[in-house]
């Protein structure tokens, strides 16, 4: 095994890994009308490319392709290498239906039959 690779080779490998991940990854963060691709995502936060993403703070929307996953309140945590690390202060999943606060009965009629 080779333990010490030339600097150019390491940079090329890192660039190829990053490009491959960005092609497979569909996660996006939307701030207003501006969209940023997510480099990494985990339970308590995500990271964006430091060259593209500004220092964000506040509410953002998280998408997987066209699917709206969550509304998040974020803060900038740190910058590590070429990534800006953001942490969630609040992470609310988006649901399709409005939650109800009562029990749905199973024996309710499904239609009304009127006499003609």
Distance CA 17, CA 92 (A): 31
pLDDT tens digits along 3-51: 677 888 888 887 777 766 656 678 999 998 999 999 888 999 999 988 8
Domain assignment present for 18: no
The CATH number covering residue 41 comes to 2.40.10.430
Residue 50 lies in domain: 26-93
Domain assignment present for 39: yes
Domain assignment present for 45: yes
Structural contact between residues 88 and 70, judged by C-beta atoms closer than 8 angstroms: no
pLDDT tens digits along 85-115: 999 999 998 888 887 888 888 888 778 778 7
Residue 74's Cβ-count burial label (10 Å; 0-12, 13-18, 19+) is buried
Domain assignment present for 111: no
pLDDT tens digits along 39-93: 888 999 999 988 888 888 899 999 998 899 999 999 988 899 888 999 999 999 8
Domain assignment present for 64: yes
Distance CA 45, CA 32 (A): 19
The whole-model pTM stands at: 0.66
Provide the number of structural domains found in the chain. Answer: 1
């Amino acid at each position: 095994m080779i333990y010490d690779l030339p600097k150019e080779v390491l940079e090329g490998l890192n660039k190829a890994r990053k490009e491959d991940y960005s092609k497979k990854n569909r996660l996006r963060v939307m701030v207003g009308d501006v969209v940023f691709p997510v480099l990494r995502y985990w339970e308590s936060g995500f990271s964006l490319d430091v060259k593209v993403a500004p220092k964000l703070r506040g509410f953002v929307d998280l998408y997987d392709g066209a699917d709206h996953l969550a509304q998040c309140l974020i803060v900038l945590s740190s910058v590590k290498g070429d990534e800006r690390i953001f942490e969630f202060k609040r992470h609310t999943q988006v649901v399709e239906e409005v939650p109800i606060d009562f029990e749905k009965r199973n024996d309710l009629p499904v239609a009304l039959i009127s006499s003609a």
